[in-house]
Amino acid sequence: MTRRIEIPAGQLPASGARAALQIEDKHLALFNVDGSLFAIDDSCPHQGASLLGGDLQGRIIQCRAHGLRFDLASGCMPNVTNFGVAAYPLDITEGRTFILLPDRPSRESAQ
């Protein structure tokens, strides 16, 4: 199951821009690339550096700390499918933008 959480219109970045987004305990980076929105975890899996301020070329963000690169659509490194950051789907319905986050496991299922 997933949770559908609305992103307020004032927090959506303009085309070519990016924005930090915090939903509950998640720190996310939201990018607008030529009118398409992408949301990823704002933490490089190598050592946790923020990806928000990285060098963006098309849909590829490069971590400033050590140069790792990630595709905003998949969260994966180019040509690597098993290493990357979480990428979250977005749903735009009737002019409203929602991010789809996986449900958190309940305490009972985590034990």
The CATH number of whichever domain residue 27 belongs to comes to 2.102.10.10
Please state whether 74 falls in left (phi above 0), alpha (psi between -120 and 50) or beta.
alpha
Asked if residue 7 belongs to a domain, the reply is yes
Its pTM stands at 0.88
pLDDT band at 105 (very low <50, low <70, confident <90, very high): low
Instruction: Spell out a b/e string for 64-79, using b for 16 or more CB atoms within 10 Å of the CB, else e.
Output: eeeebbbbbeebbbee
Residue 81 lies in a domain: yes
46-64 pLDDT, tens digit per residue, is 888 999 999 999 999 999 9
How many domains does one find in the chain? 1
Asked if the structure places residue 93 within a domain, the reply is yes
Q: Which of 85, 77, 73, 75 is nearest to 44 (CA)?
A: 85
User: How do residues 2-56 score in pLDDT, each as one tens digit?
Assistant: 899 999 999 999 999 999 999 988 999 999 999 999 999 999 998 889 999 999 9
